[in-house]
Amino acid sequence: MNIKFRVLPIIALAMALLFAPQVRAEQPAAAAGADAGAPTINLDKTSLDNGGDFVISGKAPAGSKVYIELWSAEKTVKANRFDGKKDPKTGKIPYKFYITQEMPAFYKIVAPVEMAGALDKAKTAGSKWKYSEVLKEIGADAAYTIPAKIQIDNYQATIMASILGSRGTLLPPMDAKASKRESMKLVKVRFRSVGNLLSAKVETAPDGSYSAKVSIRSGLAPGKYNARVTAVTERIKEGDKETVKKVTSEVASFENKIAFPTVYLSTAGTSINIIWPFLLASAVTIFGVLMGAGGGFILNPLLLMFFPLPHTVVAGTVMPTVLFAQGTGIYNYSKIKFINWKLGCGIGCAMLVGGFIGPKLTEMITLDQFKFLFGWVLLILAALMFWQTTPGYLANNKKEQAILKEFKKRAAEAAKAKG
């Protein structure tokens, strides 16, 4: 013990000595940066109330193109992508799975106003637009820094591993360039639309002073947000290689505040007014009871349609909510001996295996694929429902229901006599 206490101050002193010169060395460098025309940045508001508009202004070198990078500094979310597309060069399917936990919950680049046309063009491509290409086209690739540094794990998946419900073998980390390229794809998977990720709002005067009216929509992550300006002064093209000369400003911050009943869903990375999902879920479960089935298959697509939630979160959160109802149902039926355990557990074992695999598939598919498959599931279900209202089925069902009632009555009596 004593030795430890005596050693500690020495270590502290050593650390102080080590770091002190570095701190001193950094200051002149920063000052030199300012001399070289680093842009200034000012925000007219430092606090927003569940989104809102504010103005970013400052001065950049004259004649430069100004981009503003905005990101949430505190809240991060998960993003993942499965690469199952055939590589046009090698003709092989990569079967790679990429996942990060460090994606900022909000990310946007604001470009000069003259880029609006390019963005509108990208919007017409629908969900098939390519983030990296648009970034390059409007020159915003120079301002793309924050997601480029996130840690991305990549797995080599195989069909067999997916069937067993594993992500596959973890591969060594990608190099900075590959990681940056992949981060762009993950950003697109996470934020989906052109409008979410890019806007063209920066107006620049000939003397280099700029201003941009930025709007943060409601329903985003709360907490600290950062903004940084990148001014591109020159782009020199030499054959394939392009050198970008740019200067960046310091980071300016603002706060996004939300208040109850709006709450932040940390897994989904969005904040929502909880009253609406509550009402929706109540209405759907009531309807589900009337229909004689759970409401999950109606609730999930509606949640996806009305709220900006990822499909993995919707599926993963709605599923446990019915556990309790099923449990009480089983208990009630077992009390009157209305369950055949051999039959239920037999099929249950097969379903156990299926339930092990299914959630892995949710993770592997994109939102569009999820919607497509779910659409067909619902149409099949609609056909089943329709069949259950045809006269032949109804007549048969009436008989069955009568027997069911009779059995239930007998069972209840037997249970009573026993008790």
What residues numbered 54-93 form the site for other proteins, per CB under 8 A? Answer: 78
Q: Which stretch binds other proteins (CB under 8 A): 5-13, 207-215, 228-236, 376-384?
A: 376-384
Rule CB under 8 A: which of 134-173 touch other proteins?
A: 165
Q: Which stretch binds other proteins (CB under 8 A): 61-69, 112-120, 168-176, 408-416?
A: 408-416
Nearest Cα residue to 253 out of 271, 228, 287 = 228
Q: Is 222 left (phi over 0), alpha (psi -120 to 50) or beta?
A: beta
Q: Which stretch binds other proteins (CB under 8 A): 60-68, 207-215, 242-250, 297-305?
A: 297-305
Contact, 210 vs 66, CB < 8 A? yes
Bridge partner residues of 59 (DSSP): 209
Q: Can you list the pairs that 291-295 forms with residues at least 24 positions away whose Cβ atoms lie under 8 Å?
A: 291/385, 294/322, 294/325
Nearer to other proteins, 148 or 281 (CB): 281
Per-residue interface string for the shown chain with other proteins, residues 178-217, x marking contact by CB under 8 A: ----------------------------------------
Residue with the two structure tokens 């045809």: 390
Residue 199, CA distances (Å) to 39, 119, 168, 406 in order: 20, 7, 38, 67
Burial classification of residue 64, based on how many CB atoms lie within 10 Å of its CB (0-12 exposed, 13-18 middle, 19 or more buried): buried
Asked whether the bond before 261 is cis by omega within 30 degrees of 0, the reply is yes
What CA–CA distance (Å, rounded) separates 156 from 168?
5
Nearest Cα residue to 49 out of 218, 213, 273, 275 = 218
Bridge partner residues of 42 (DSSP): 57
Contact, 207 vs 62, CB < 8 A? yes
Nearer to other proteins, 43 or 322 (CB): 322
Quick check: 351 binds other proteins (CB under 8 A)? yes
Quick check: 300 binds other proteins (CB under 8 A)? yes
- DSSP H or E run through 228: strand 223-238
Q: Which stretch binds other proteins (CB under 8 A): 35-43, 115-123, 188-196, 273-281?
A: 273-281
Give the total residue count for the chain.
Answer: 419
How many residues belong to the site for other proteins (CB under 8 A)? 111
Quick check: 320 binds other proteins (CB under 8 A)? yes
Q: Binder to other proteins among 32, 244, 286, 395 (CB under 8 A)?
A: 286
Rule CB under 8 A: which of 321-350 touch other proteins?
A: 321-327, 329-330, 333-334, 337-350
Q: Binder to other proteins among 245, 386, 395, 413 (CB under 8 A)?
A: 386
Nearer to other proteins, 99 or 231 (CB): 99
Q: How far is the CB of 246 from other proteins (least distance, A)?
A: 36
Burial classification of residue 3, based on how many CB atoms lie within 10 Å of its CB (0-12 exposed, 13-18 middle, 19 or more buried): exposed
Q: Which stretch binds other proteins (CB under 8 A): 113-121, 136-144, 184-192, 290-298?
A: 290-298
Phi, psi of 249 (to 5 degrees): -85, 180
Q: Binder to other proteins among 302, 308, 366, 412 (CB under 8 A)?
A: 302
Quick check: 129 binds other proteins (CB under 8 A)? no
Q: Binder to other proteins among 196, 277, 308, 412 (CB under 8 A)?
A: 277
Q: Binder to other proteins among 14, 32, 385, 395 (CB under 8 A)?
A: 385
Rule CB under 8 A: which of 248-267 touch other proteins?
A: 263-267
Quick check: 407 binds other proteins (CB under 8 A)? yes
Quick check: 415 binds other proteins (CB under 8 A)? no
